Amino acid sequence: MNKKETVFVVSDSIGETAELMVKAVASQFFGKEVEIKHFSYVEDIQDINNVITNAKYSPSIIAYTIALQDLKEYLDHRALEEGIMAVDLMHPLMDAFAQTFDMQPSLQPGQMRKLDENYFKRVEAIEFAVKYDDGQEVRGLKQADIVLIGVSRTSKTPLSMYLANKQFKVANVPLIPELPPPQELFQIPRKKCVGLIISPEKLNDIRRERLKSLGLTNAANYASLERIFEELDCAQNIMKKIGCPIIDVSNKAIEETADIILAMFNKRGSFAQ
């Protein structure tokens, strides 16, 4: 029985950069991900020895990002002794920086995380999007950078998450004829709100597929054109009352809709970022 190809991702930090690089390269050879085993926050010789012990019993590569020169050299030495391929993902580029820009690296572990404020902003935005998804905790709408409104299956949630990955705090609220919209929608600046609409036919197809995936009948009221027309009419009336811009997402990918929203908000100067 052949042993599975394995890449040991070794880092003096969390190792997410090394993992992304490994996955990108592996996709060119296997068409799928190889098995990846993590050794994060490696900080001494014993940690390196643990990596070597695990790696030498299978066809494997060690891909590493280690800033400390002594630790890096020890890993290279031990890997060579055991006949294991070890690939330094960081120092060649670091050397290029030093030579080209006439600078010296700090050689301190975890520097990227310390400096990358964008990472923490993105995490905060994603947590916000989850908390205020689908009309939950409407009191938080005033804290949002963007508020998306629309009927069910107009891509509010995936669009919220996409924008959150770009560091924007996004809340979304479903519009349902039987439920009055939250008053908070009328209390926030209308420039923060975006209405999402879709053609009745497109929405009918999407909802029918959704019901099929759930094993439910297509005859359910949720997917009927009569119900869809009622919902869309109600939603557009609310959007007009709010006075927010409206985007037709019928034939748009999430990325395309997001680009429209960001261009619109940036033009208005609505973002403090």
Does the annotation flag 154 for ligand binding? yes
Sheet containing 246-248, strands listed edge to edge, beginning at the edge strand earlier in sequence: 170-174, 146-150, 193-197, 246-248
Does the annotation flag 152 for ligand binding? yes
Q: CATH assignment of 6-115, given 1.10.10, 3.30.70, 3.30.300, 3.40.50?
A: 3.40.50
Does the annotation flag 173 for ligand binding? no
Instruction: Give the residue from 176, 132, 172 showing the smallest Cα distance to 151.
Output: 176
Query: In the chain, what are the domain boundaries?
Result: 6-115, 117-268
Does the annotation flag 147 for ligand binding? no
Q: Residue 239, exposed/middle/buried by CB under 10 A (0-12, 13-18, 19+)? A: buried
pTM over 0.85: no
Does the annotation flag 135 for ligand binding? no
Does the annotation flag 202 for ligand binding? no
Q: How many Å is the Cα radius of gyration of the chain?
A: 25
Does the annotation flag 11 for ligand binding? no
Q: Residue 152, exposed/middle/buried by CB under 10 A (0-12, 13-18, 19+)? A: middle
Query: 117-268 in CATH: which number?
Result: 3.40.50
Question: Tens of pLDDT along the chain (273 residues)?
Answer: 346 789 999 998 878 888 888 988 888 886 666 789 999 889 899 999 999 999 998 889 999 999 888 999 999 999 999 999 999 998 898 889 999 999 887 777 665 555 557 778 888 999 999 999 999 888 889 999 999 999 999 999 999 999 999 999 999 999 999 999 999 999 999 989 999 999 999 999 999 998 888 888 765 789 999 999 999 999 999 999 999 999 999 999 999 999 999 999 888 766 544
User: 14 with 39: CB under 8 angstroms?
Assistant: no
